[in-house]
Structure 1
Amino acid sequence: MGFSQGNILPSVPWQVSAAIIAVKLSADVHPTFQLIPLVLDFLVIKATIFYLIIMPGPNPDSFKRALDKFKASIDPSLHKGFSVCSLQDVYSEIKGIQTTQAKKDEMPGMQRLQAFVEAMTQLGSVIEVFLNVHEIVCFVWGPIKFLLTVANQHFKSLDKLLDAYSRIGDAIPGLLQYKTVFENNDSLSTVLEDYYSDVLNFHLEALRVFARPKWRALFNSAWTTFEANFAPILQSLNRRRELLESLKGTASLYEIQRARDDIKTVHDEQIRQARILESQRNRLIMGEIKIKLQSPEYQLDQEQLSESNDANESGEWMFTCPEFQCWYDSSLSVRMRHYRVNFSMSFQPSREKF
């Protein structure tokens, strides 16, 4: 009885595939062990389930999806540099920054980066048990080196970046202490995938600040947006820390999945709220700019001024002034007498004619 590769489930690990091929080969060599296809398919499924039980660990596809999403979101020119970066390259960059800043009598406190570097080192050590971590960790060290190199041009920017790294480092527990827990609890090991995804999202937000042209001129505004997007990431990391501490000894599939779902729901809602606030802030800024740039309403101003002039009562005070009234009354009296005299003189000849 022959076999084809199509009889093996494409998602089955290679160890299971090899075992099934061996079973089928034995069926060819020993006819007494021939099995009908239905039984073979059942064995494939059963062996796969058995493999997942005795060989727990994070899903490599999840790490790859997170990494592919990160690559698609950044400038392609950064890919090559990131893909070959190592922890030693990061330490060399840190040493160079310390030397440069010491000459300027500016000490940015590079030790704030240590907790994050240690957390990422432990993350790599834990997941290397389950999968090839070379490219995965390279895309952690690469962005760190790039961001430190660029931020070193401006002391204030470097200080803020180091503070952000410090907060992330404090939010991630020592993962090596949970190594046995990860190995024995497949569901709990998925938290490693979440940690990796959060770190990539953090670096993506930071690159949007420092990888743009003329970033120093736009730093204050860009950093405000960064902080709004960074807050949900940091809260997500803190909740995962609480999850590990609470489920360290008694991790169950239901508890872990529910906790992960709750974290994701809150995280998504915070991201949504942050985007709404950012959109509102941008609309407000654009409205203010539009008001400043639009031309004045000359026609409306002219109409209002004309109405104001028509309704102007300035000068009327003169008619209530006692001096004016006295003058006006006396002047009127003189004019009346003059009128009477002239009238009489003109009327007298007329009477004589009659």
Structure 2
Amino acid sequence: MKRIQPLLDGLERYSKVVEVLCNGTPYLPWIWAPIKLMLQLASDFTTAFERLISAYSQIAENLSRFDRLSQAFGGNPEFQQVLAVVYADILEFHRRAYKFFRKPSWKCFFLSSWGRFDNRFKYILESLARHSDLVDREANALSIAEAREWRERTTREAKKRETEMAAAQYRHVLSWLGDRTADQDAQDEQDNRLDQLLGSCYPNTAEWILTRSPVKNWLRTQGNKPTLWLKGKPGSGKSVLCSKLIQFLRKDGQSSVLFYFCSYASATSKQSTRILKSFAIQILRRHQNLSSYVYDEYVLSGQTPSMQALKSLLPNLLSSIRGPRMVIDGLDECLDSEQKEVLKDILAFSSNVAYGSCPVLIVSRDVRHINAMLSKKPSLSLNNEESAVNAAIGSFTKQRLLEMQTRFQELDIDRSTMEDFEKQIVDKAKGMFLWVRLVLDILEDDVYNANELKTAIDALPAGLTEFYERIILLVKRFSPQNYDKAVRILEWITFAKRAPKKFEVQDAVALTANNNILSEDTKLPETVLHLCRPLVEDGPDNTIVFVHFTVYEYFLHESSGPFLHRESAEYNLTLSCVTYMLQGMSLINSRLSEEERTVNVGKGFHGLHLYAVEYWLEHLLDYAQARQVMRVSDPA
């Protein structure tokens, strides 16, 4: 009490003046109560208590001059305004302090957050000092008006500086986490992937998932059995169901959902690090005020965003947000060596008693490494939801056929026949949305009369593998030139170090051992990518991707031949990259005018350049390794 006695004395003097001017109205309890509350909140945390006492000492210095003024200002409206401003400044301090202390896990973020608070507190003290000085000097109305204007101006300046400092710290933190260029593209790819999945979801095909007991228990869990495994066969719609759960959690507003879609196209030996980085970035994007903590504790201290640093950072960030939940889809698309590591790291957050549990949803196929770690966790298998999945597939099929109605009306197919076709498709789908989607794509493009439609449905392939085999047979019937283009397109989608852009694949395929110049005569149109449909589709951010991970697996599996060979694929990718870089020398060719070089860039003759520069060496090394493996396995 001795340390805050000056504040109490100053407030008592101030109260005498205020009570006279306000005819005894008790305004001071609105100050006494916050003081008591602040001291109680900080009492068990020494650092916070010391900072608070120090702040009260500085406020007390500006309240020592009011004891002789209780009679002097009874009828002076200008000085009443000064006293009101002093009152407002004290309340503003407590408003901001209370807002600070009521944040979750405020002790963890105290030093960094209080540093930002100090910046605004400095202007509150300056305002108190200036207005107290006016009272002490019995200033005139003009000085009081000037002081009021100064207070408004400095408040705006303080807010502006605070905003600028917060923005700068936020940028530094994102840069530290690597949220620039490739990492920024990766994060945007996650958002785009979610939008793509939600856009592909037809009404009444995914809502059923919210009615299942394991999912309902996971949605409302607050720490009891916080992990759920959603599993199913390939192409059964797991990712779409996952996206609907994310959308539901966002609309519900009771949780902060963090999500990550794993992809074969970005499978690396650092997948666990990428996932934790993505989660940290998602939190900071929605709660930018936390960036001051990361900036002070990690960036300024010179730490690197290593796995160890992320494991210490993420729990603190999770503790500061409301109802955090993690959703990871497609874990089976990660490298086998990574699946165990990712699960080990992620599951640690679901049961960290230091900050409370964070419910985790894992969505994947039932593969060996994942099953070994999740077999005893609560789960929902789509294989056991045949009725719900078939009903959803039926709804999807009906809506797709309705979209094709104009075409089928031209074929003069009656409603009963169409219903029979719907039933055949659902029965043959065996719970695979992907199979239905691919089949309908082919029916829409390749059927020209009712008899062809009936024949095509009767001859539908059984399962995805047989479907892929039929597509490859069609590809093999292409002319030699188109077959070569199709194979190279598939090689780029399969072996590129990231999901390739459509224009990158177009240009890469145009460059061969017999053609090393990209020009208006040799450049390929985007329609060349149609050679590989329906196995490929437009991906996020103008990329070209396989319609499903199983296509990627099929091309590399022995059951397809394998259809694609790593050695020849890496040779072709290396050749395209190196050839492209050589052509890039024209950018510094003095024989070409600056206008000609600019026109060539505008025409897209250098679109693959960035990829080639970044990855050509990796492809060359992969080619050398693949060639060495082939020599060892086939010494003849």
TM-score normalised to structure 2 length: 0.29
TM-score normalised to structure 1 length: 0.50
Instruction: Report which of the two has the higher share of strand.
Output: 2
Instruction: Report which of the two has the higher share of helix.
Output: 1
Higher RCO by CA contacts (8 Å cutoff, separation 6 or greater) = 1
